[in-house]
Structure formats: C-alpha cells, structure tokens
Amino acid sequence: MTIYDLDGTLLSGSTFTPFLIFGARRLALWRLLLLPVWIALMIGHKLGLIDRTTLKHRGMRLMLGRPLPETLARVARAFAEVRVARLHPGARRAMEADAREGRRVVIATAAYLLYAEHIARLLDVEEIIASHWAIEGEMQPNCYGPEKLARVQVWLAERGIARGELHLRFVSDSFADAPLLDWADESWFVTSRAGVARRAQARGWQPVNFSR
C-alpha cells in the first residue's frame, strides 16, 4: 500500500488558501477584501495564538460565508478540476508505478474532504483520508501531524487490515507528517532542496524529487 500526502506532495503548493480565494471569487467577490484579515489569522497561527483547526474554520467562514451545501459542493468540484493540473510530474510517474505493481493507493491529507475527494477521483484514487468540514459549522479535528497517523490507524482497523501484514509506503513533503513517516515501513520525503533532503535522510527517510 502507498499513502500519499496531497499538498506539496502530489500537487505543487498548498490547496486551502487557494480554495478560499477561488471560492470567494465565485460566491462573493467582495470577500477578497478580507484577505488581509486571513493573512493576519495565519500569522497568529504561526505565532501559536490560534490552532490549525480553528484557523481553517475561521478561514472558511471569513472568505466563504455560509453558502448552501450544494453551492459549496459545486465550488469544490470546480476548484478540484483546476487544481489537479498542478500534479507534480514525478508524482504522476510514482502513481503509475504503483498501478503497475498492483499497490493500493490512498491519499491522507489535512485538506478538506469536500474538495480533496474530487482531486483524488481525478487522479483515479478511490480512497482518501481527509479533514472534515461540517456544514453546520462544528470544528472537526484537522487531519494533521499525530492526528493523521491516528486517522490512518483507524482507517486500517475499520477495514480489517492488520499492520503486521502490510507493507506501507508513505510519501510526504512535510516534517509535520513525521509520526506517519516514522510509522511507515518505507518513507519517501518529497523535496527539491539539498538541505531538506539531508535532514530527511538523517531521519531515515528517502528523499525524492517530484518536481521533474
């Protein structure tokens, strides 16, 4: 089995802020004027003043408001169709190799399922573990860091897949994914930077460059 992170691993760049901007342009163009507020919230997160789950929740409300579920779903599908074009060349080849080898492919991402599931389908990946956005507005734990590992473990248990019988390759570009990278049998760290590659190797992870 191969599990891929999404942002920066399969796709170049992040998806959340681009999704907020994409959605604001289609739902209420005036909300783009609130981008400085969103930037301030991100700075607050970097300073430890706001956790990641709260940050993303506030970003959704700030930039998208409270659209009808079907309207939000349409925006999410449209965003996925545009964003999937940012698939890294090396990621495409890796996924093609997975298919030839008969490996089961899963995406595990902190991105919201509401658009990440459409990106996954466009990449011919049927199984995805992601953060959840509750239409009612309740904050759900972000699928990030230790939470991502926990979510993967629950996902495997629900499907009756024993860890000891599984060869797991995990592919990510983020040191925040260290818990899952360390738990995997084979860990690929996506980077094109020599210094970052050395840090990854020191952790026992195999550096790979998906940008070409």
Answer yes or no: do 145 and 199 share one domain. yes
Angle formed at CA 159 by CA 175 and CA 1, multiple of 5 degrees: 45
β pairing state of 169-172 and 206-208: unpaired
In the chain, the number of structural domains is 2
- 13-26 per-position pLDDT tens digit: 999 999 999 999 99
Answer yes or no: do 134 and 190 share one domain. yes
Mean pLDDT computed over 149-171? 95
Answer yes or no: do 37 and 126 share one domain. no
Nearest C-alpha neighbor of 115 from the set 136, 131, 95: 131
Instruction: Give yes or no for residue 138 having a pLDDT over 70.
Output: no
Answer yes or no: do 44 and 120 share one domain. no
Instruction: Give yes or no for residue 134 having a pLDDT over 80.
Output: no
pLDDT of residue 135: 62
Residue 141 pLDDT level (bands cut at 50, 70, 90): confident
Instruction: Give yes or no for residue 173 having a pLDDT over 70.
Output: yes
Answer yes or no: do 26 and 113 share one domain. no
pLDDT of residue 140: 78
User: What b/e readout covers 170-179, taking b as 16+ CB neighbours within 10 angstroms?
Assistant: bbbbbebbbe
Mean pLDDT computed over 161-187? 96
First to last CA, the chain: 24
Answer yes or no: do 76 and 94 share one domain. no
Mean pLDDT computed over 68-81? 96
CA 132 – CA 115 distance, rounded (Å): 10
Answer yes or no: do 126 and 76 share one domain. no
Q: Which domain holds residue 158?
A: 2-12+86-208
Mean pLDDT computed over 47-70? 93
Answer yes or no: do 35 and 117 share one domain. no
CA 56 – CA 16 distance, rounded (Å): 8
pLDDT of residue 120: 97
Answer yes or no: do 103 and 150 share one domain. yes
Instruction: Give yes or no for residue 87 having a pLDDT over 70.
Output: yes
Mean pLDDT computed over 204-210? 97
pLDDT of residue 180: 98
CATH of residue 202's domain is 3.40.50.1000
Answer yes or no: do 166 and 182 share one domain. yes
Domain boundary among 32, 60, 83: 83
Nearest C-alpha neighbor of 148 from the set 40, 9, 43, 19: 9
Answer yes or no: do 97 and 198 share one domain. yes
Domain boundary among 49, 83, 117: 83
Neighbouring residues of 132: CB distance < 8 A, sequence distance ≥ 6? 112, 113, 140
CA 209 – CA 9 distance, rounded (Å): 10
Neighbouring residues of 20: CB distance < 8 A, sequence distance ≥ 6? 38, 59, 60, 62, 63, 64
Mean pLDDT computed over 102-130? 96
CA 182 – CA 208 distance, rounded (Å): 16
What mean pLDDT is reported for the chain? Answer: 94
Residue 139 pLDDT level (bands cut at 50, 70, 90): confident
Domain boundary among 46, 64, 83: 83
Answer yes or no: do 78 and 96 share one domain. no
